[in-house]
Amino acid sequence: MNALKQPLPPVRGTLAENVPLAGFTTWRVGGTAQRLFRPADREDLIRFLEGLPEDEPLTWLGLGSNVLVRDGGVPGTVVVTAGRLRTLSLEDRRVYVEAGVPCAHVARFCSLHGLSGAEFLAGIPGTMGGALAMNAGAFGGETWVWVEAVETVDRHGVVRRRSPSDYRIGYRSVEGPRGEYFLAAWLRLQHGDIGAGQRRIRELLARRNRTQPTRWPNCGSVFKNPPGESAARLIEACGLKGRTIGGAKISELHANFIINTGGATAADIEGLIELARAEVAARFGIRLQLEVRIIGVPR
């Protein structure tokens, strides 16, 4: 991994070297971050980026729910926003939410304030920053349907406000200005009934617990659903439910989930990903596209 040619800028948050990343991902696997930065707040993050060396690799993590960190770790600096960029506020029907706020918190906040539309976020085990980056969705809802504007920052600390028209939004896909990262979003929601919203969230969470292996470490859905198809159905049709490599297993409850049964490595999980891709391609002629993001280097 790269050695620093100049010192990193001072911070008010925490900046440490050689930090194991397994504890920062929901799969509970992966190597170390060469450097890991947890900003004290938005301003601390901006000041850090303003002084960041140009050649320093930069990786962003929220709750680590849609990412596989390879066993060899991640070079450069990993910025963790979860629990740090945590402002969540309301003005009329506009909700301002920073990137580190868990999606489930956003769902509950909106419901308690009589706003409807964000209930589906209760089923997304990540942060708002991650939801914006991939147009996360669940139970028929999608993030960018409700986005009025976003705030971004680049690696030089320049902050911009952008509208949805600056992005190409698709199914689990967001393409926009390169080199910018989401700091926050303004959501415009509908008036709703508090009781109805809370019941809807309870129903969605109960459905999630029935249909997904929530008691095991996992990343959420591994693959995007092909047009008109279900990735889980294709994988199950190949007879892969329950297949294991090391401590990793294709869930018997939902075939688009890979779980860590204990002691799995990132290589075990990646092996199952490639197995599922190969089997589905051979039987159906469909190349499954990843929903999970794979980062870092192999061991």
Q: Residue 151 catalytic?
A: no
Q: Which two three-digit tokens encode residue 267? A: 């290589």
CA 176 – CA 191 distance, rounded (Å): 30
Catalytic, out of 98, 119, 270, 291? 291
Catalytic, out of 38, 42, 84, 172? 172
DSSP codes, 153-168: EETT--EEEE-GGGSE
Exposure on the CB side of residue 248, measured as CA atoms within 13 A: 26
Q: Residue 89 catalytic?
A: no
Closest CA to 295 of 83, 57, 131: 57
Q: Residue 291 catalytic?
A: yes
Catalytic, out of 65, 84, 93, 221? 221
Asked if 184 and 96 touch (Cβ cutoff 8 Å), the reply is yes
CA 38 – CA 40 distance, rounded (Å): 7
**What residues act catalytically?**
172, 221, 291
